[in-house]
Amino acid sequence: MIRVVDGGSKTINYVTLKNRRYVDRESGTLDFGFETNKSTNDKQLVARIAGELGKKWEVEDVIWTVGGKASVLADYLQPYFENVAPMPNALYANAMGYYKMGRVIYSV
């Protein structure tokens, strides 16, 4: 099982994959982000994210963070989840994922 968190400016997206398949009930979007947060304190924002993720995810789950705030997310999620790290090339992970998905869908 793999879990991914993408901390965006307006939303936080999180996804779960089991056996390379998307798990809807363990994935979703939080309607706040790093730029919509009233506080400028990233640590407090990530604590809020951890509280939401903790409702569906376990402490020992493997979690990758992606996007421009991947390192911030990973650092501040560490106290809540044991196995969290930024994905290699985290800044471009979404674009690379969409590219690969498009190649599969359109058999390129």
- Decide: helix, strand or coil at residue 73: helix
Report, as an integer, the average pLDDT of 71-94. 94
Our count of domains for the chain comes to 1
Structural domain span for residue 39: 2-105
Instruction: Check if the beta carbon of residue 3 is closer than 8 Å to that of residue 14.
Output: yes
Report whether pLDDT(82) > 80.
Answer: yes
* Global confidence as pTM: 0.86
Q: How many CA atoms lie within 13 A of 8 on its CB side?
A: 13
Report whether pLDDT(108) > 70.
Answer: no
Q: What is the CATH number of the domain that holds 92?
A: 3.30.420.40
User: Residue-wise over 39-77: b if at least 16 C-beta within 10 A, else e?
Assistant: eeebeebbeebbeebeeebeeebebbbbbebbebbbbbb
pLDDT digits (tens, 9 = 90+) for 9-67: 999 999 999 998 999 999 999 999 998 877 678 999 999 999 999 999 999 999 999 99
